[in-house]
Homo-oligomer: A and B are copies of this chain.
Amino acid sequence: MTTTTRIIAAPVVPSTGALRPLGVDEVHITDGFWAQRQRVNGSATLPHIEHWLEKDGWLANFDLAASGTLPAGRRGREFSDSEVYKYLEAVAWEIGRRGTDAAFEARFRAVVDRVAAAQEADGYLNTNFGRRGQGARWSDLEWGHELYCLGHLFQAAVARERTRPGADDGLLGVATRAADLVCSVFGESGIQSVCGHAEVEVGLAELGRLTGEPRYLAQAALFLDRRGHGTLADIEWGRSYFQDDVPVREAEVLTGHAVRANYLAAGAVDIAVEGDDTELLGALGGQWERTVARRTYVTGGQGSHHQDEAFGEDWELPSDRAYSETCAGIASIMFSWRLLLAEGGGSGADGRPDGRYADLIERTLFNVVATSPSDEGTAFFYANTLHQRRPGEPAPSDVMSPRASSSLRAPWFEVSCCPPNVARTFASLAGYLATTDDDGLQLHQYASASIRTRLADGRLVAVDVATRYPDDGTVTVTVTDDMPEATTISLRVPAWAASASLVLRAVDGSIETVDSSPGYASIRRAFSSGDVLELSLPMRARFTVPDPRIDAIRDSVAVERGPIVYCLESVDLPAGAGAFSGLQVDRTADPDDRGDGVSVLLRTASADAEAWPYTTTDAAGPDAEPVEAPLVPYHRWAQRGPSTMRVWLPVHHAR
């Protein structure tokens, strides 16, 4: 177990756990897929978000609060404050990632000043409650989102203080004053209830870790223990929507609103870790396991209900009604990452870490989070369907979308949680690549990167990673400083990489090949600067078949290549391929994967007659000539305009 004391510039810094996170100042992504996303995030997405926060008046709400003129003129939904806080968090990570940046620094401080001016004398901070003409403070815990907003405020303050300790911009003081108020209002003898939208738990936990104030963590634990006892009102979708039907430590699987469920689970891991509550941690591990086995899309996406943005029941994973909210993907990463830090890779059948948490994080990053933003970083998917049945309608770049499930990326939403959530995730992404323990370094995600950190005993660990991943499966890790003491370097071998290999080529000429079955491949030795570890992951397109209990995709296959899920878009259909709805895939040969793209053979299933569709005889259309159709990575879908799309392809059966 590793115990952390110094400040680490990472979103989650447990005081104890199997693995220790690295800060965004210790890991730099230097090139490739994620470096490009980070560049666009900093240059385009962050200004885009600030533009919309100003344009929609969500920032100005704080000015109105400061001038005492609310509620007149207030704009945005009840939770719009939180988007400002997530924006602040994203900018804090961006400043931490870039090092000095005067422009971002000035913008950050200007926004903090406006937020701080709106805080009331007793620490209360929310532009939507508490004034004459507004609802009373804490009067609508189901839907008011006051504590939810504060959770995001706390995370922003933590990000700032961890990346610029003692920056003295006032944000940490704003956060602690608000947190003190929460502890006083909702403490042991305070209001005996919880917020309808979990989030304050992770915020309080991290603020407690940062400041050392034990009340914050105790308050988070109080919120956790209170939930699940029906203190919130029953609603149309039941109390499971708020996770207020079953106490967290008794639940068997994540249920209800998928973002709420994952935020809550993430906070619960924090509480379990800090309280050394192995029973709670075990329950959360079990919930993660069943949720991943039965309630997760092949993309890593979670949530199959549009209506309540919720998980469905076990095996309820319709492609066309996949909600798979971008924020739920991010929240799932938050949950998985905390379990990874607490437990290590995850425990395989042989007791060896099996990489399950990092596997899911990778899948979700590439196929949910990376899918959300446009190439330009100024339009976003909120929901991430796996099957688009009708070409979407273009979303004008200057119009706020009323639709969460818009079928093309939109610049901004009435409920605009996803864009700033993507932004804070990309800005802090380097923090999810690697960890250390007392014995060495673990690489969980692959990107060209420079890593330089010290283990708990002060030993320097420094490597450069070079890779074209995920286009290519070769990952080259070059040691950039001597490590004279025996040190372990571990590289994750994803579950799909059944024939991976890891080879050490030392500067002294020695070569070592190590076990590299899925899980983590490790080499323990003294390293010299210039030693090279080369991981080769088999990067070939493959057909993936679903568990037969997933009704919605029975007798269908998906195509994956490495961590990337592919899809078929109608814009790529060759002439004569037939109606999109009737296409079937020829599964008799593997997908074609010539390096410049992936393609499959398609056949058309049936004619387009308008007849009663339920008959007594199996459809037996002619075995049409197959046509070859290219597939594209799912995260690239709808980057070329409106199209229909599907991830799961029905299998053609010869007559």
Alpha-carbon gap, A553 to B619, bound state (A) = 14
- Chain B hits for A356, CB < 8 A: 612
The interface residues of chain A, by DSSP majority, are classed as loop
The residue that A544 contacts in the complex, of B236, B296, B359, B616, with Cβ under 8 A, is B616
Provide the A539-573 mask, 1 if CB < 8 A to any CB of B, else 0: 00011111111111111101000000000000000
Is there a chain B Cβ closer than 8 Å to A307's Cβ?
Answer: yes
| Additional 8 contacts, C-beta under 8 A, given A495-B612, A554-B650 | A236-B414, A293-B611, A293-B613, A307-B307, A314-B389, A544-B616, A546-B613, A548-B584
Alpha-carbon gap, A544 to B612, bound state (A) = 12
* Residues A612 and B306 in contact, CB atoms below 8 Å apart: no
- Chain B hits for A289, CB < 8 A: 610
Q: Give the shortest distance, in Å, between A257 (CB) and chain B (any CB).
A: 14
* Residue from the set A293, A320, A403, A615 with the largest chain B CB neighbour count within 10 Å: A320
Known: A389-B315, A556-B554. A612 touches B292 (CB 8 A): yes
* Residues A545 and B616 in contact, CB atoms below 8 Å apart: yes
The residue that A293 contacts in the complex, of B292, B550, B612, with Cβ under 8 A, is B612
Provide the A485-521 mask, 1 if CB < 8 A to any CB of B, else 0: 0000000000110000000000000000000000000
Known: A316-B320, A403-B237, A403-B238. A387 touches B551 (CB 8 A): yes
Known: A316-B389, A618-B545. A550 touches B290 (CB 8 A): no
Alpha-carbon gap, A423 to B356, bound state (A) = 55
5 pairs of residues in contact across A and B, judged by CB atoms under 8 Å = A293-B610, A294-B610, A545-B615, A545-B618, A548-B650
* Residues A549 and B404 in contact, CB atoms below 8 Å apart: no
Q: Which chain B residue lies CB-closest to A621?
A: B548
- Chain B hits for A551, CB < 8 A: 319-320, 387, 552-553, 556, 648, 650
- Tally of this chain's copies: 2
- Chain B hits for A235, CB < 8 A: 402
Give A249-265 interface residues, CB cut-off 8 Å to B: none
Is there a chain B Cβ closer than 8 Å to A321's Cβ?
Answer: yes
* Residues A613 and B294 in contact, CB atoms below 8 Å apart: yes
- Chain B hits for A548, CB < 8 A: 582, 584, 605-606, 619, 650
Alpha-carbon gap, A385 to B542, bound state (A) = 35
Chain A residues proximal to chain B, CB less than 8 Å: 234-238, 289-290, 292-294, 296, 298, 304-307, 312-316, 318-321, 356, 359, 387, 389-390, 402-404, 414, 495-496, 542-556, 558, 581-582, 584, 605-606, 609-619, 648, 650
* Residues B389 and A313 in contact, CB atoms below 8 Å apart: yes
Q: Give the shortest distance, in Å, between A222 (CB) and chain B (any CB).
A: 28
Q: Give the shortest distance, in Å, between A485 (CB) and chain B (any CB).
A: 37
- Chain B hits for A389, CB < 8 A: 312-316
- Chain B hits for A554, CB < 8 A: 554-556, 650
- Chain B hits for A236, CB < 8 A: 402-404, 414
Q: Give the shortest distance, in Å, between A291 (CB) and chain B (any CB).
A: 9
- Chain B hits for A582, CB < 8 A: 548-549
- Chain B hits for A612, CB < 8 A: 292-293, 356, 359, 495
* Residue from the set A236, A359, A543 with the largest chain B CB neighbour count within 10 Å: A236
- Chain B hits for A234, CB < 8 A: 402
The residue that A605 contacts in the complex, of B292, B549, B611, with Cβ under 8 A, is B549
Q: Give the shortest distance, in Å, between A283 (CB) and chain B (any CB).
A: 14
* Residues B545 and A614 in contact, CB atoms below 8 Å apart: yes
Q: Which chain B residue lies CB-closest to A389?
A: B313
The residue that A314 contacts in the complex, of B359, B403, B542, B581, with Cβ under 8 A, is B581
Alpha-carbon gap, A543 to B615, bound state (A) = 8
